[in-house]
Amino acid sequence: MVNQEALGLFPALDCRGWYARATPHPDPGAFVPTYEALNFALDLNALIYSGFVMALFEPNIAVNKFGHILSLQDSDAQCIKHAVSRVLDLPYAPFWNVDTEWTCQSQFRAFIQSRARGTVLPFYVYAAYRGAKLEQVTGGYEVLPDALYELGELAMELPMWDEGAAWGNRSFAKSVMKLAEDHCQWPEWPDEDLYDVDLDEDTRWRGVSTSLGLAVCLLVAVMTVLLIRTWPRPARRRDHPPI
């Protein structure tokens, strides 16, 4: 019998609107991202966007996908940090795959600083839907924990398109993501006793195959658009002028 009582330990948080309340950092040139100050970083792989989304640093500083450095309201920063801590309270497993028949689902990776373990822990979430059934029992859960879903929702407040701001740069944003990845240590696969099925080689590398699947879906979408644009259109009918 799978223990689902842990789901009740995570009441819903309400940090909505945190990004709209954030303000430009008063001295962005003075900010230097460090591993010690990192709280978490998150990237996204989806049809509409693929890459770094945001990172949170102490004290109350966020970096967005455009390389903009933002100061967060103290209440918002504390709320997001609490959302991150709820994820760390879960029984650790790197891959949380939702059971879905639909392909090309979005996926995100959260790289969270674990002071207790002295490393950055990766959490890979495929098709993050609230309360969705997982492909297999993971960390004692049959459905996706609210903690993972809500952390992804908070990060998705960032706009997917460039705001056109003059300051900030994408190379800086990429360096922030690299900082998290460089300090990330992928652990050994969790004890198979946590799962109801045997973990064969295909299951262990589901994360890799899913990423390749999304890349194929994106390629098909682009080719379809190009095909539609280049497809010859039927000539318009021209009536003969009266004789």
Per-residue pLDDT of 27-37, as tens digits, reads: 998 999 999 99
How long a stretch of residues is the chain? 243
Q: Is the pLDDT reported for residue 130 higher than 50? A: yes
Q: What is the pTM of this model?
A: 0.72
Q: Is the pLDDT reported for residue 210 higher than 60? A: no
Q: Is 111 contained in some domain?
A: yes
If one counts the domains in the chain, the total is 1
Q: Is 236 contained in some domain?
A: no
User: In this predicted structure, what is the pLDDT of residue 159?
Assistant: 83
Q: Which residue has the higher pLDDT, 67 or 224?
A: 67
Distance from C-alpha of 41 to C-alpha of 19, rounded to nearest angstrom? 15
- pLDDT class for 50, splitting at 50, 70, 90? confident
Mean residue pLDDT of the chain comes to: 77
Q: Which residue has the higher pLDDT, 121 or 104?
A: 121
Residue 15 structural domain: 5-230
Q: Could you give the 3-state DSSP secondary structure of residue 48?
A: coil
Task: For residue 182, count CB atoms less than 10 angstroms from its CB and return exposed for 0-12, middle for 13-18, buried for 19 or more.
Answer: exposed
Q: Is 158 contained in some domain?
A: yes
**Triad 166, 172, 173: Cα angle to 5°:** 95
Q: Is the pLDDT reported for residue 25 higher than 80? A: yes
Q: Is 134 contained in some domain?
A: yes
Quick one: residue 131, left, alpha or beta (phi over 0 = left, psi -120 to 50 = alpha)? left
Q: Is the pLDDT reported for residue 129 higher than 60? A: yes
User: In this predicted structure, what is the pLDDT of residue 69?
Assistant: 94
Q: Is the pLDDT reported for residue 71 higher than 80? A: yes
Distance from C-alpha of 120 to C-alpha of 57, rounded to nearest angstrom? 13
Distance from C-alpha of 122 to C-alpha of 180, rounded to nearest angstrom? 9
Q: Which residue has the higher pLDDT, 14 or 28?
A: 28
What amino acid occupies position 158?
Answer: L
User: In this predicted structure, what is the pLDDT of residue 212?
Assistant: 52
